[in-house]
């Protein structure tokens, strides 16, 4: 996207030089305790409020970022191309079907700017769902229609479809904040029946955590549906929330429309190289799935003993019924230096809770028992 460019072969060579330089540089030790204190909590606090991965990026991603120091003076075009090639190969698609973003949040913003507004149409979403795209669409002057989730906490696709007139339908699957899914057969039929004039954005930020047979990615459906966009992120299973890297898959013409609203080089070279290395690490995803699953099973079991029902979770967080207004509980836990999710007005008695490390979940359970007593 700029006039000064180096080949991908040269870029890889420069990364190799960076690795060699890193070997001879003295190590700079950062105090682990200070570096890992969560924001918005005091030292020793527990942050379970933002659905982050407590284990962070893989060792391969850390090494890739160190090696990229030598090319930080260059625009990230080549690293951008390398990552797109890897994503295309993994998903068995063409590189022209991919747009990278500064986290998947930029993808949502681009979709709002491209497909909603007075001349494009309204935004139709579930209630509750991830709220960022609502604000992006409102800023574009679009009407926003909220459709309550079903009794099983799935998207009410029939009512959402009936509410849509051109514009954009947003389906977060698994859904945030409920951690629930919309079954694959229902979603597939919905995509097939939706008018080509209405765009559909399926947000698969938590895709890697879903393990039920009723769930599947809709990326393979993109080839047959020009109105389908699928968003993914490196923030969750890959532990890169602070680095900001995401992408979407759509047909080339849709990608071209979105590019018209995108800033050049919006993803920095550290995030690009870390994302590429993460995709090359065979252990990052299964290890993350296992560790989060173990901690989640423990937490749900403890809540169940206390009589609190959890919505079936297919993500790295849970939502459970506190059986009374959640806001005072959130505040009381904060006083005990445990940060949990915010209020979601559609579910005023429910708490969204990120799954952290096992010892963090033990701290939460202890604090929660004290607060509820």
Q: Is the pLDDT of residue 26 over 50?
A: no
Confidence of residue 333 (pLDDT cuts 50, 70, 90): very high
Average pLDDT over residues 326-336: 98
Work out the burial of residue 328: count CB atoms within 10 Å of its CB; fewer than 13 is exposed, 13-18 middle, 19 or more buried: exposed
Confidence of residue 143 (pLDDT cuts 50, 70, 90): very high
Average pLDDT over residues 41-60: 91
Residue 29 confidence (pLDDT): 30
Q: Which residues contact 145 (CB under 8 A, 6 or more apart)?
A: 122, 123, 124, 125, 163, 164
Average pLDDT over residues 129-145: 97
Q: Is the pLDDT of residue 2 over 60?
A: no
Instruction: State the residue for tokens 């960022």.
Output: 132
pLDDT digits (tens, 9 = 90+) for 181-207: 999 999 999 999 999 999 999 999 999
H/E stretch holding 36 reads none
DSSP state of 309: -
H/E stretch holding 17 reads helix 8-24
Work out the burial of residue 118: count CB atoms within 10 Å of its CB; fewer than 13 is exposed, 13-18 middle, 19 or more buried: exposed
For residues 98 and 255, is the Cβ–Cβ distance under 8 A? yes
Q: Which residue blocks in 267-313 are alpha helix, DSSP H?
A: 269-279, 284-305
Q: Is the pLDDT of residue 14 over 50?
A: no
Residue 329 confidence (pLDDT): 98
Average pLDDT over residues 131-158: 98
Rounded to the nearest angstrom, the gap between the alpha carbon of residue 68 and the centroid of all alpha carbons in its chain is 24
Residue 44 confidence (pLDDT): 73
Average pLDDT over residues 81-87: 98
Confidence of residue 210 (pLDDT cuts 50, 70, 90): very high
Encoded tokens for 331: 């505040």
Other Cβ atoms closer than 10 A to 145 = 18
Bond into 128 cis (ω within 30)? yes
Residue 67 confidence (pLDDT): 95
Distances (CA, A) of 149 to 11, 282, 296, 311: 47, 36, 23, 13
Domains of the chain, first to last: 71-279 (3.40.640.10), 284-372 (3.90.1150.10)
Residue 15 confidence (pLDDT): 53
Average pLDDT over residues 55-67: 97
Confidence of residue 40 (pLDDT cuts 50, 70, 90): low
**Total-model pTM:** 0.89
Closest CA to 351 of 321, 316, 312: 321
Residue 23 confidence (pLDDT): 36
Confidence of residue 165 (pLDDT cuts 50, 70, 90): confident
Average pLDDT, the chain: 91
């Amino acid at each position: 996207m700029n006039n000064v460019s180096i080949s991908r072969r040269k870029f890889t060579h420069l990364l190799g030089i960076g690795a060699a330089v890193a070997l001879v540089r003295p190590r700079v030790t950062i105090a682990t305790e200070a570096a890992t204190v969560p924001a918005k909590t005091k030292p020793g606090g527990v942050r379970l409020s933002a659905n982050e991965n407590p284990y962070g990026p893989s060792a391969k991603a850390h090494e890739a970022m160190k090696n990229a120091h030598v090319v930080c003076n260059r625009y990230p075009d080549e690293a951008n191309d390398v990552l797109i090639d890897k994503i295309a190969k993994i998903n068995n698609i063409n590189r022209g079907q991919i747009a990278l973003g500064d986290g998947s949040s930029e993808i949502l913003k681009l979709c709002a700017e491209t497909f909603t507004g007075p001349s494009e149409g309204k935004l139709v979403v579930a209630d509750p769902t991830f709220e960022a795209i609502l604000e992006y669409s409102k800023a574009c002057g679009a009407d926003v229609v909220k459709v309550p989730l079903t009794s099983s906490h799935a998207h009410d696709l029939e009512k959402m479809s009936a509410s849509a007139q051109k514009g954009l339908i947003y389906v977060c699957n698994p859904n945030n904040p409920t951690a629930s899914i919309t079954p694959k057969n229902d979603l597939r039929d919905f995509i097939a029946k939706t008018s080509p004039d209405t765009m559909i954005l399926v947000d698969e930020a938590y895709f890697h955590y879903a393990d039920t047979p009723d769930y599947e990615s809709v990326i393979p459906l993109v080839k047959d549906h020009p109105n389908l966009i699928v968003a993914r992120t490196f923030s969750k299973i890959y532990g890169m929330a602070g680095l900001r890297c995401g992408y979407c898959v759509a047909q080339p013409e849709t990608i071209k429309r979105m590019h018209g609203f995108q800033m050049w080089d919006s993803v920095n070279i550290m995030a690009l190289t870390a994302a590429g290395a993460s995709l090359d690490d065979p252990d990052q995803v299964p290890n993350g799935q296992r560790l989060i699953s173990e901690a989640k099973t423990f937490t749900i079991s403890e809540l169940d003993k206390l009589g609190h029902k959890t919505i079936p979770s297919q993500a790295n967080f849970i939502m459970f019924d506190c059986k009374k207004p959640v806001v005072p509980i959130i505040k009381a836990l904060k006083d005990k230096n445990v940060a949990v999710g915010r209020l979601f007005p559609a579910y005023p008695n429910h708490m969204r809770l990120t799954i952290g490390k096992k010892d963090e979940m033990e701290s939460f359970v202890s604090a929660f028992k004290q607060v509820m007593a």
